[in-house]
Structure 1
Amino acid sequence: MLQTLLLAAALFFFTRNVFRFEKISRFELLVIPVYSFVIGGSIILENPPTMLALFLTILLGGIVGWFQTTGLTIHLTAEKDKRDRPIIEVRRGWQYLVGWLVIFAYGLGLAFVAGHQVDILTELSNELMKDLLSWENFTPGAWNIMIQSAVASLVYTWYLVRREPRVKAAIARKKQVKN
């Protein structure tokens, strides 16, 4: 019962944030996807999947990343952060939520096909925690989720930069400006 209540609360916070404007960050748009790609790649090198599974994972990740940008709303502010970068906010919309669900369902489906026993509620709560609590992304997961999330996030970032070139300056690495 407690797990169900916590899961419901996490779902509420996750879905609520998808429909609000949030400041973009270098950490979310670059660091986490690159880390996921490196960890997913190392898992693949240790235990290689079939080429078909790898290809489908990368392809679906790219399609999901593109789809998630179709509902994106960008808000440019006149403000600057402490590193003198422009502050840009985005509202992800329902497309982001659908893309997240596709990645989750694909991961579950691949686990079932591979013969793994999966507790859907536990997996859902783990994935929600990764989205709500950034540091949870640094615990290695299944290769397919790591690679698909990385590809989707990198494609999402690429389309975001193409759509609004000032995003590049907002996520650039700069030293903190002293006042």
Structure 2
Amino acid sequence: MCSKALKFEKISRLEAVTLPFYALLMFLLSVTWDAQNILAMVVLLLLSVGIGWYQAIGAQVKDTDKFDRHGRPVKLLKKGRPYIIGWFLVFLVGIAVEILAGDSLGTHEILSELGDEIERDLFIFKFFSGGHAWYLWETTALSNLAFIYFLEQRFPNLRDAFKKTKSQKLKRGHNK
């Protein structure tokens, strides 16, 4: 995971759009809307946006002369060290919330959770397996959405790599 963030890789719509919105949906479906959770949600929102901002400050984007099968320009992203640190901060926030919620975590549970997080980052299909607490979904979703938002602010043409193309819209029955 660490070496992956230090190399230029093709940025995908799946990673930049689909996964964060999936995590946001899972958060909305799994959270219990009570006063205590709402306060925690606000705090986690602020932390997550801050982490996403921090992750984006070290990122670099390269344009290529290639296009994907949908005609979108291929962009290469090097996430950098701040991304790795931010990823670890998301993990630490999850551990802190579990401890504050009264769950006693031993070394085995923490290492197991770390292993799960690394697997989810390395193997996209693992991201879609459920069983995560709402605060992990929220933190993951919002930090990723903030990361992409702040990347788009720094690199305005990055959005072109995520846009639905005319051919995609026509395939789905959108005649615009």
Deviation, 1:96, is: 0.3
Deviation, 1:117, is: 3.4
Quick one: structure 1 residues 112 and 172, their matched pair in 2 at CA, closer, same or farther if it must change by over 3 Å?
Answer: same
Correspondent of 1:126 among 82, 91, 116: 116
What is the CA deviation profile of residues 50-78 of structure 1, one whole-angstrom value per residue up to 9, with x for unaligned ones? 33211111110000000001000111111
- Cα distance between partner residues in 1 of 2:24 and 2:35: 15
One-letter code aligned to 1:123: E
TM-score (norm 2): 0.87
* 1:76 matched to 2:76: no
Unaligned runs of 5+ in 2: 169-176
Correspondent of 1:91 among 60, 78, 81: 78
One-letter code aligned to 1:173: K
| 4+ runs deviating over 3 angstroms | 45-49
Q: Which residue of 2 aligns with 1:160?
A: 151
* 1:34 matched to 2:25: no
Aligned length: 163
Q: Which residue of 2 aligns with 1:10?
A: none
Correspondent of 2:51 among 42, 64, 69: 64
One-letter code aligned to 1:124: L
Correspondent of 1:105 among 79, 83, 92: 92
Identity across matched positions, percent: 28
Q: Which residue of 2 aligns with 1:9?
A: none
- Cα distance between partner residues in 2 of 1:55 and 1:88: 33
Deviation, 1:46, is: 6.7
Correspondent of 2:136 among 124, 135, 145: 145
One-letter code aligned to 1:135: F
Q: Which residue of 1 aligns with 2:171?
A: none
